[in-house]
């Protein structure tokens, strides 16, 4: 059980600095990520992009959502369905309903898309390493969704200080292809 304690401690340690960021610092980081993605060919080629609504100091992708809308890309948000994660389309001005964690989701009648039909999936994270290992909040929702087969380009969004030298990758962990921080686009080696 020491590994669980280590992950819990790491989550606690890395959530504190992101929660402590001011709104100005969060906005600046989000704009930097958008600037990096505007120079990233897969972003421009994507037609269906899954994003998320920021919670607990996560890097806020609202600027990315608005960029998608203005470029005519479909925006899909994660929706909890028991222990599963599905992706529902969200269009500008549409109402969201809070899930059990208080995070907004598109209404149940919003069109759903299979994960394999997404072009890019942007994931929140608590920590990451350059091998593409991602430490999330511990629910395993994204890992279970991605384990269902081939799918989109997997892009973690993070503040630069969330990078760690190495994370233990469990057999069920699904690796990232890239991590985009406020400082750079980082390709993952997936070793």
Question: Are 123 and 143 within 8 A, CB to CB?
Answer: no
Alpha carbon dihedral 1, 7, 87, 92, in 10-degree steps, equals 150
Question: Are 138 and 83 within 8 A, CB to CB?
Answer: no
Q: What is the pLDDT of residue 191?
A: 61
Angle at 158 between CA 157 and CA 161, to 5 degrees: 165
Residues with Cβ within 8 Å of residue 108, at least 6 apart in sequence: none
Q: What is the pLDDT of residue 190?
A: 66
Closest-CA residue to 21 (of 147, 161, 146, 157) = 161
Question: How is the chain split into domains, by residue range?
Answer: 2-187
Can you tell me the distance from the alpha carbon of 132 to that of 154, in angstroms, rounded to the nearest whole number? Answer: 9
Q: What is the pLDDT of residue 5?
A: 54
Reported CATH class of domain 2-187: alpha beta
Can you tell me the distance from the alpha carbon of 12 to that of 26, in angstroms, rounded to the nearest whole number? Answer: 19
Ordered per-residue pLDDT tens for the chain, 191 residues = 235 458 888 888 888 899 999 999 999 999 999 999 999 999 999 999 999 999 999 999 999 999 999 999 999 999 998 888 999 999 999 999 999 999 999 999 999 998 999 999 999 999 999 999 999 988 889 999 999 877 899 999 999 999 999 999 889 999 999 999 999 999 998 66
Closest-CA residue to 122 (of 65, 173, 66) = 65
Whether pTM > 0.85 for this model: the answer is yes
H helix intervals, 46-146? 62-71, 141-146
């Amino acid at each position: 059980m020491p590994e669980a304690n280590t992950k819990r401690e790491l989550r606690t340690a890395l959530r504190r600095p992101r929660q402590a960021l001011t709104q100005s610092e969060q906005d600046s980081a989000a704009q930097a990520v958008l600037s990096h993605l505007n120079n990233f060919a897969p972003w421009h080629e994507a037609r269906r992009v899954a994003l998320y609504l920021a919670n607990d100091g996560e890097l806020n992708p609202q600027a990315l959502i608005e960029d998608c809308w203005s470029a005519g890309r479909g925006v899909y948000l994660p929706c909890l369905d028991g222990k599963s994660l599905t992706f529902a389309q969200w269009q500008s001005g549409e109402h969201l309903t809070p899930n059990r964690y208080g995070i907004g989701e598109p209404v149940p009648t919003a069109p759903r898309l299979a994960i394999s039909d997404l072009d890019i999936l942007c994931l929140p994270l608590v920590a990451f390493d350059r091998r593409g290992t991602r430490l999330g909040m511990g629910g395993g929702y994204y890992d279970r969704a991605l384990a269902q087969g081939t799918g989109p380009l997997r892009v973690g969004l993070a503040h630069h200080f969330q990078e760690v030298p190495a994370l233990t990758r469990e057999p069920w962990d699904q690796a990232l292809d890239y991590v985009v921080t406020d400082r750079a686009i980082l390709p993952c080696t997936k070793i």
